[in-house]
Amino acid sequence: MLARVATFAIDGVDPRQVWVEVDIRSGLPAFTIVGLGDASVRESRDRIRSAILNSGFEFPLTRITANLAPAFLRKVGPGFDAALALGVLAASGQLPAAALTSYAVFGELSLGGELRDSPGALAVAEGARGAGLARLIVPRERAREAGLVQELTIVGVPTLRAAAEVVIGAQPPPPLPASPGSFPRGAEPDLCDVRGHAAPVLALEIAAAGGHNLLLEGAPGTGKTMLARRLPSILPAMTRDEALEVTRLHSVAGIHGDGLVQARPFRAPHHTISSAGLVGGGSPPRPGEATLANHGVLFLDELSEFQRPSLDALRQPLEDGCVTIVRGQRALVFPTRFMLVAATNPCPCGFAGVDDRCRCGEAELRRHRRRLSGPLLDRMDLLVDVQRPAEHELRAPPATSSAQARARVAAARARQRDRLAGSPARANGEMDVRLVQRHVQLEHAAERTLAHAYATGALSARGRHRVLRVARTIADLRRHERVTQEDMLTALGLRQRVGREAALAA
């Protein structure tokens, strides 16, 4: 007898429908799985046999052939176990095959017949809805995540036996676990911990308001890491679509707890990371940190320690908002719309330009600067010196709390949304040259100030474009229709090192 069960493979970060076909014929006992499965799919034969027997069913002592179709798609991981087991039960007449037609089935089995937590449930649920299936069986731990997809009945069960009983109709689908409520914002680090640092804190707020990339430079212990970690606390909340996308990506990567991800991602990979780890890759291709930071922040601490190939690999993701990984005949696309924040010492020892403790030689300084220059520095909108706060600043009250800054950021974002409606950009940081021309209007004095800065050679043409975008964000924060001279001076001040850097990199 032949049975067919729908399931899904995760291809990069997207679901692809897979049909599990199980055929049972008389013959010597054998269990073969064909259809381009990896090692864990081949090993699933032993898990399925034990799980079926330990769930109180019979394992047919005949010739069993299972096929995973379409055959051209690589099937990776143990997530096909449950579909294969239910297929065997249906093909051997222990389940009515017709009852399975409205179901998609997803999950790994243990030898004892438990359905184990498996990564990628939200992607599978989206695939099941897209394929027009009415019900989806998932491990109980993933029920709430899969339940984020509406118009689909989620059957979150702990065991193969429980899944079979729901399919037969002996048991109703168990209710979805209750949602834990909204995400508590107070849990994250807050800007009120930061003393002094007026310019860096302002830069952080501008970066959040316009979606600008930010470089913090300063001696060790001045609070660069501390500042960067507080950026998520002032970013606007994600829309539901953004949250669903982040949940899907984190779920596929297996780094996701339960339900909907509500906090914007903050990814801070160690500087030893490879380029595949940073932008995605491997076989089968997996998303990298740039994709896990999608809709959030990618923080590169100690930027000059990263290997140059890893940093170069960030070029396309930064430019296009996505990264394309080519494997054989196929290309996978991973989303990478993140804000880049980087921190670095001014020199290898950290004290150049700060005090006379610096012992770095000219060659070391040059090497350090060369590592920083190039593709990443070109893409930084804000370049901020972080200096050691004065003693009285450490005792003074903080400049702002995260809640106050967040309110200003949200208002500035609303202004940008209205202005940019109908264009592909959502924030000033995403405006291209044409959008900048159309939307960034300067008062005369601001125009003169910018022209002067450009004429003195302190700005490159690209730097000028970036200053205009940042100036627009500053004007949005201050509720100015046109960019004033003061806005322009603030923007130029937050890019003060460009001219020097450009000269050094040449």
- Is 416 in contact with 504 (CB distance < 8 Å)? no
* 230: contact with ligand ADP by CB under 6 A: no
Stretch that binds ligand ADP, among 147-155, 195-203, 246-254, 454-462 (CB under 6 A): 195-203
- Buried b / exposed e across 281-299, counting CB within 10 Å, b at 16+? beebbbbbbbbbbbbbbbb
Q: List residues bridging with 93 in a β-sheet.
A: none
Q: How far is the CB of 211 from Mg ion (least distance, A)?
A: 23
Q: DSSP assignment, residue 159?
A: B
128 by DSSP, 3-state: which? helix
* 373: contact with Mg ion by CB under 5 A: no
Q: Using the minimum distance from each CB to ligand ADP, give the nearer residue, 226 or 322.
A: 226
Closest CA to 488 of 475, 476, 471: 471
- Could you say which residues in the range 465-504 bind ligand ADP, by CB under 6 A? none
Residue written as token pair 């184990």: 116
Return the one option of Mg ion, ligand ADP, none that residue 147 interacts with (CB less than 5 to 8 A, by type): none
The answer to whether the peptide bond before residue 284 is cis (omega within 30 degrees of 0) is: yes
Return the one option of Mg ion, ligand ADP, none that residue 222 interacts with (CB less than 5 to 8 A, by type): ligand ADP
* 65: contact with Mg ion by CB under 5 A: no
Stretch that binds ligand ADP, among 63-71, 100-108, 150-158, 219-227 (CB under 6 A): 219-227
- Is 20 in contact with 80 (CB distance < 8 Å)? yes
Q: Using the minimum distance from each CB to ligand ADP, give the nearer residue, 226 or 445.
A: 226
The answer to whether the peptide bond before residue 70 is cis (omega within 30 degrees of 0) is: yes
* 221: contact with ligand ADP by CB under 6 A: yes
Choose which of 54, 65, 101, 225 interacts with ligand ADP (CB under 6 A).
Answer: 225
d(CA 143, CA 156): 5
Q: Which two tokens stand for residue 123?
A: 């992607």
- What contacts 216, CB < 8 A, 6 or more positions away? 200, 203, 224, 227, 228, 341, 342, 343, 344, 384, 386
Rg of the Cα atoms in the chain: 28
Residue written as token pair 């430019």: 319
Q: How far is the CB of 209 from ligand ADP (least distance, A)?
A: 21
Stretch that binds ligand ADP, among 119-127, 222-230, 237-245, 468-476 (CB under 6 A): 222-230
* 202: contact with ligand ADP by CB under 6 A: no
Contact mark string toward ligand ADP, 383..402, x via CB under 6 A: ------x-------------
Choose which of 45, 63, 135, 195 interacts with ligand ADP (CB under 6 A).
Answer: 195
Choose which of 40, 50, 101, 225 interacts with Mg ion (CB under 5 A).
Answer: 225
Question: Which residues of this chain interact with ligand ADP, rule CB under 6 A?
Answer: 194-197, 218, 220-226, 343, 389
